[in-house]
Amino acid sequence: QKEVEQDPGPLSVPEGAIVSLNCTYSNSAFQYFMWYRQYSRKGPELLMYTYSSGNKEDGRFTAQVDKSSKYISLFIRDSQPSDSATYLCALKTSYDKVIFGPGTSLSVIP
């Protein structure tokens, strides 16, 4: 079993839709939870970062962590064409080891 599993996608939604992106993990040692966005032919960029269970909101983006279920989600409200990208979940232990999910490709259709 992989340490981090992510919804495979690709995902295609109309502009304005609410998008839900999900990852599950197996190692309870992960303490830091991140979402990266990667545009085509670019490196990933950090979108959201949290270290506790619950929700963290930043504009149209909400990161949700459920440590008991080992499940993390990223919600995008009022999705825009500029949100079209690949979204990678990333998990880190206290020892600086970061594991990335394979990514979910999202297309927001105008």
Residues at the contact surface with other proteins, assessed by CB under 8 A:
2, 4, 32, 34, 41-46, 49, 88, 90, 92, 96, 98-103, 105
Least Å distance, CB 48 to other proteins, is 11
Least Å distance, CB 79 to other proteins, is 21
Least Å distance, CB 62 to other proteins, is 19
Q: Which is nearer to other proteins, 18 or 53 (CB)?
A: 53
Least Å distance, CB 82 to other proteins, is 16
Say which residues have a Cβ less than 8 Å from residue 95's Cβ, sequence separation at least 6. none
Q: Which is nearer to other proteins, 46 or 109 (CB)?
A: 46
